Amino acid sequence: MAKRISLAIQGMECPNCAMRLEGIEDTLVGVLRAEASYQKGCMTVEFDEMQVNEAQIAAAIQRLGYGSAALQPAVSKSTTRY
Question: Domain residues of the chain, as ranges?
Answer: 2-70
Task: Provide the 3-class DSSP secondary structure of residue 79.
Answer: coil
The 10 Å Cβ neighbour count of residue 32 is 14
What's the predicted TM-score (pTM) here? 0.84
Task: Identify the residue with better confidence: 55 or 73.
Answer: 55
CA distance 17 to 66: 9
pLDDT value, residue 78: 45
Residue 59 phi, psi dihedral angles, 5° rounding:
-65, -40
Tell me the residue type at 23. Answer: G
R_g over Cα of the chain: 14
pLDDT value, residue 76: 42
pLDDT value, residue 1: 81
Render pLDDT for 7-55 as a digit per residue (tens, 0 to 9): 999 999 999 999 999 999 999 999 999 999 999 999 999 999 999 999 9
Q: What is the CATH number of domain 2-70?
A: 3.30.70.100
**Strand 31-37 versus strand 42-48 pairing type:** antiparallel
